[in-house]
């Protein structure tokens, strides 16, 4: 069992497989000035598999593929199949904007993917186009429906709430849970990477305390659910007689660092120790060193070191966050 220096069990690896995206959400990616990793700097499908083998050796059990937008990887199905076939992978999921899921949902399920999280900030097509830029509500919704038909459930929708964009739209999103067995989760803005997106995240921040009040004023009281997993980043609730769950991920107003169980792997092969800190350890070098075991043993040692070095938490309230990477380079 991999314990960090604060006695937290770290058993969940989020794997960014690409830093590019087919959207330009206002709080995540600027429209200009972006540079993405050249293909040789991305970990290959085989290298990702070796990292997961090492993580399994270290005691990890849960894995999520992220981006950028992971469905842009041409070898995504190969990556999913490789990981799904490893003994000890108890949970394999993917975070996506769902734009490409109409064609990919069934093949992903057949390859071994268990479930998906979909980023959707509003049910209003005009708001989606304004906030998620280059996005189409119709295409995202079609992707969600395809995922549900394919059995990639429970569907989880992640909505980032930004003042002046979609704060009034949270009620309609929450209302989905009345009839659908989905998890609809509201996420507070976090300033990552500096630049215009981090600045917007500060100026447009909406506390989940406010979001919850808005939902309850329109739909009635939220009944808190007992946590099934103490490491769940969301505090979960249910409307009376609802089928689904409403969750609040509140890294600013209600930090959950004390129960964090996550480690991140960047698309260029760095263990990123905490979403909101810059600390990283290079693993790609070990993977490409030509060791007899493909570097798995060395990766296990690096990962174990990363777990021991994991910070106690973020420093947002002190005005500090990661400066070296933006959200699209970390995968959330």
Say if CB 62 and CB 82 are below 8 A apart: no
Distance CA 86, CA 88 (A): 6
Digit-by-digit pLDDT tens for the chain (332 residues) are 689 888 999 999 999 999 999 999 988 888 888 889 999 999 999 999 999 999 999 999 999 999 999 999 999 999 999 999 999 999 999 999 999 999 999 999 999 999 999 999 999 999 999 999 998 999 999 999 999 999 999 999 999 999 999 999 999 999 999 999 999 999 998 876 667 777 888 899 999 999 999 999 999 999 999 877 888 899 999 999 999 999 999 988 888 888 899 999 999 999 998 877 778 899 999 999 877 676 788 999 999 999 998 988 775 656 555 666 766 777 76
Q: How many domains does the chain have?
A: 1
Say if CB 264 and CB 331 are below 8 A apart: yes
Residue 293 placed within a domain: yes
| Rama region for 88: left / alpha / beta (φ>0; ψ in -120 to 50; rest) | left
Range of the domain at 298: 12-329
Residue 133 placed within a domain: yes
* Residue 298 CB partners (closer than 8 Å, separation 6+): 286, 289, 291
Residue 2 placed within a domain: no
For the beta carbon of residue 105, count every other beta carbon within 10 angstroms.
26
* Residue 105 CB partners (closer than 8 Å, separation 6+): 143, 146, 147, 149, 150, 152
User: What CATH number has the domain bearing residue 61?
Assistant: 3.20.20.70
Residue 131 placed within a domain: yes
Residue 7 placed within a domain: no
Residue 5 placed within a domain: no
Helices of type H across 123-192:
125-131, 137-150, 170-179
Residue 226 placed within a domain: yes
Say if CB 307 and CB 57 are below 8 A apart: no
Residue 103 placed within a domain: yes
């Amino acid at each position: 069992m991999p314990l960090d220096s604060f006695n937290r069990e770290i058993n969940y690896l989020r794997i960014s497989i690409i830093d590019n995206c087919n959207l330009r959400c206002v709080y995540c990616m600027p429209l200009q000035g972006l540079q993405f990793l050249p293909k040789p700097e991305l970990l290959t499908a085989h290298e990702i598999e070796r990292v997961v083998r090492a993580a399994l050796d270290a005691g990890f059990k849960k894995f999520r593929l992220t981006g950028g937008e992971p469905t842009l990887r041409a070898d995504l199905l190969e990556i999913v199949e490789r990981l799904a076939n490893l003994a000890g992978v108890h949970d394999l999921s993917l975070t996506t904007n769902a734009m490409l899921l109409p064609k990919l949902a069934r093949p992903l399920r057949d390859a071994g993917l268990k479930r998906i999280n979909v980023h959707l900030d509003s049910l209003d097509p005009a708001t989606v186009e304004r906030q998620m830029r280059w996005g189409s509500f119709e295409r995202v919704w079609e992707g969600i429906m395809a995922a549900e038909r394919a059995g990639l459930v429970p569907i989880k929708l992640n909505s980032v709430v930004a003042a002046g964009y979609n704060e009034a739209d949270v009620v309609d999103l929450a209302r989905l849970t009345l009839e659908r067995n989905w998890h609809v989760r509201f996420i507070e803005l976090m300033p990552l990477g500096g630049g215009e997106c981090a600045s917007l995240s500060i100026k447009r921040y909406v506390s989940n305390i406010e979001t919850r009040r808005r939902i309850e004023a329109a739909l009635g009281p939220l009944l808190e659910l007992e946590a099934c997993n103490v490491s769940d980043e969301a505090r979960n609730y249910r409307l009376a007689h609802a089928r689904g769950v409403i969750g609040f991920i509140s890294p600013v107003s209600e930090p959950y660092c004390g129960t964090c169980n996550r480690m991140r792997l960047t698309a260029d092969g760095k263990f990123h120790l905490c979403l909101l800190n810059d600390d990283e350890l290079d693993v790609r070098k070990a993977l490409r060193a030509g060791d007899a075991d493909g570097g798995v043993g060395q990766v296990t040692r690096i990962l174990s070191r990363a777990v021991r070095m994991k910070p106690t938490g973020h420093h947002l309230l002190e005005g500090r966050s990661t400066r070296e990477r933006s959200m699209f380079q970390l995968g959330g």
